[in-house]
């Protein structure tokens, strides 16, 4: 290469680097996570992370280290889900750690894919590798199961109803593997403002949402945001969170607190949020029939007038949609919004952030669990 050619190449490379640094700094400086209005009432709302691996399976940190990171991230609880049928060592790791409630379930490899079991009493022998049988065994031990990354086998592999309690609507690990290329230029931000690259990789989980809505037509299934964290715990703990609504403050006794969280999850008393974009604290979705309150996750017979009430986190530009049997309609502005129900069916809410955010326009910031208003003759 001649000297002038070499120089040209060097200038081109230098120009490209400067352009990249400018572009990167622009995005980095513009990015912020919106924090909740301090006046927001968040009574009995606790925040946690579901689906985490430790060194007791293929994760990179020990349970206590993970709990330490979680406690410093301001979380109330985390749920370990180490691989196993079940993972007995991981089940023993649970407890209060630095003021954080560390729960442990297990992620089982069954014939249909990966199935997470939570809240079960320790079994005397291993769970079956048959998905339906494993779900039945977990249920018999007072636990419940969640279908993990349901499309890891590309097409639906879970057959018909087998008593699963939930389904993962977003699995961060699967999404990162799928969307790594467009996120590459943002990756250096992982160590400065990790919310930026993580939010950039989120796409609307169209297939999972469609399947979830379909399942809900026949039986109750609750939707989960799952981090599936094996490493990068700190960034992931700020990313996708479950907001669980309790009836009372979280107890200090471990057994009681564990039961509070699991029974709320079992009943669908929680919503999911990409908190790295904005803290979703204060969101609420409930029904009212006369003086009776219908909590999120509940199922009732639709034989009297019902209103649905949606309260959005305050102080942010946002747009909420009501999804009825999979069909989306914008909710009128107002906070709270009250919607008079005229038809039976499954209702849930998606909220989109209208502030400046790396979240794609079609990607919801909050996804509630449904309220089921069943026809009179519904079993
Ligand atoms: Zn898995
Ligand atoms: Zn996993």
Reply yes or no on whether the pLDDT at 154 is more than 80.
no
Reduced to 3 states (helix: H, G, I; strand: E, B; else coil), residue 358 is: coil
- Residues with CB under 5 Å of ion ligand 1 are 114, 148
Reply yes or no on whether the pLDDT at 66 is more than 60.
yes
Number of domains in the chain: 2
173-178 contact pairs (CB < 8 A, 24+): 173/149, 173/227, 173/228, 173/229, 173/230, 174/149, 174/228, 175/201, 175/202, 175/203, 175/205, 176/201
164 lies in the same domain as 194: yes
Are 332 and 338 spatial neighbours (Cβ–Cβ below 8 Å)? no
**Is there a domain that residue 245 lies in?**
yes
**Is there a domain that residue 286 lies in?**
no
Residues facing 50 on adjacent strands: 79
Domain edge (last residue) among 246, 281, 316:
281
23 lies in the same domain as 125: no
**303 vs 103, more confident:** 103
56 lies in the same domain as 163: yes
7 lies in the same domain as 135: no
**377 vs 62, more confident:** 62
**Is there a domain that residue 319 lies in?**
no
Are 128 and 134 spatial neighbours (Cβ–Cβ below 8 Å)? yes
100 lies in the same domain as 55: yes
Any idea which ligand is nearest the CA of 149?
Answer: 1
- 12 alpha carbon – ligand 1 mean position (Å): 44
129 lies in the same domain as 8: no
14 lies in the same domain as 156: no
Reply yes or no on whether the pLDDT at 379 is more than 70.
no
Mean pLDDT of 60-80: 97
**Is there a domain that residue 113 lies in?**
yes
- 109 alpha carbon – ligand 2 mean position (Å): 10
Reply yes or no on whether the pLDDT at 330 is more than 80.
yes
Residue with tokens 């509940």: 298
318-350 in b/e form (b: 16+ CB < 10 A) is: bebbbbbebeeeebeeeeebebebeebbbbbbb
Q: How far is CA 132 from the centre of its chain?
A: 24
Whole-model pTM: value is 0.94
201 lies in the same domain as 126: yes
CATH number at residue 161: 3.20.20.140
> pLDDT tens across 5-18, in order?
888 888 888 989 98
22 lies in the same domain as 121: no
**Is there a domain that residue 320 lies in?**
no
**Is there a domain that residue 50 lies in?**
yes
For residue 209, name the pLDDT band (cuts at 50, 70, 90): very high
Mean residue pLDDT of the chain comes to 92
Any idea which ligand is nearest the CA of 147?
Answer: 1
- 148 alpha carbon – ligand 1 mean position (Å): 6
**Is there a domain that residue 354 lies in?**
no
**95 vs 157, more confident:** 95
For residue 41, name the pLDDT band (cuts at 50, 70, 90): low
- And the tokens for 377? 């003759």
12 lies in the same domain as 51: no
Out of 36-50, 264-278, 342-356, least confident range: 36-50
pLDDT score at 175: 86
Reduced to 3 states (helix: H, G, I; strand: E, B; else coil), residue 71 is: helix
118 lies in the same domain as 185: yes
> Which domain covers residue 13, as residue numbers?
1-30
169 lies in the same domain as 247: yes
**Is there a domain that residue 200 lies in?**
yes
> pLDDT tens across 245-269, in order?
999 999 999 999 999 999 999 999 9
């Amino acid at each position: 290469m001649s000297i002038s050619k070499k120089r040209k190449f060097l200038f081109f490379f230098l120009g490209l680097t400067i352009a990249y640094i400018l572009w990167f700094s622009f995005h980095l400086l513009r990015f912020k996570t919106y924090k909740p209005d301090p006046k927001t009432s968040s009574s009995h709302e606790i925040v946690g992370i579901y689906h985490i691996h430790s060194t007791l399976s293929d994760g990179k940190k020990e349970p206590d280290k993970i709990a330490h990171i979680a406690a410093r991230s301001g979380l109330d609880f985390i749920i370990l889900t180490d691989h196993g049928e079940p993972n007995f060592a991981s089940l023993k790791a649970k407890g209060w750690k630095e003021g954080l409630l560390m729960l442990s379930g297990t992620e089982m490899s069954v014939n249909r894919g990966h199935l997470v079991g939570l809240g079960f009493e320790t079994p005397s022998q291993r769970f079956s590798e048959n998905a339906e049988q494993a779900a039945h065994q977990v249920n018999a031990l007072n636990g419940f199961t969640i279908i993990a990354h349901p499309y890891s086998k590309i097409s639906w592999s879970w057959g018909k109803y087998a008593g699963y309690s939930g389904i993962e609507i977003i699995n961060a690990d699967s999404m990162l593997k799928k969307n790594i290329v467009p996120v590459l230029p943002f990756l250096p931000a992982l160590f400065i403002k990790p919310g930026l690259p993580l939010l950039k990789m989120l796409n609307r989980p169209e297939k999972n949402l469609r399947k979830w809505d379909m399942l809900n037509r026949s039986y109750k299934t609750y939707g989960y945001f799952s981090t599936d964290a094996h490493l990068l715990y700190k960034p992931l703990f700020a990313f996708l969170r479950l907001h669980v609504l309790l009836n009372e403050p979280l107890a200090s006794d471990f057994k009681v607190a564990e039961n509070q969280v699991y029974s709320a999850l079992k009943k669908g008393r929680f919503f999911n949020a990409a908190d790295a974009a904005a803290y979703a604290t204060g969101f609420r979705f409930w029904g009212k029939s006369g003086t009776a309150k219908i909590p999120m996750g509940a199922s009732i017979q639709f034989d009297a007038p019902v209103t649905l009430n949606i309260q959005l986190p305050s102080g942010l530009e946002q747009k909420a949609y009501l999804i009825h049997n999979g069909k989306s309609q914008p909710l009128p502005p107002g906070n709270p919004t009250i919607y008079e129900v005229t038809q039976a069916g499954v209702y849930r809410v998606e909220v989109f952030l209208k502030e400046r955010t790396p979240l794609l326009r079609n990607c919801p910031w909050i996804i509630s669990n449904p309220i089921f208003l069943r026809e009179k003759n519904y079993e």
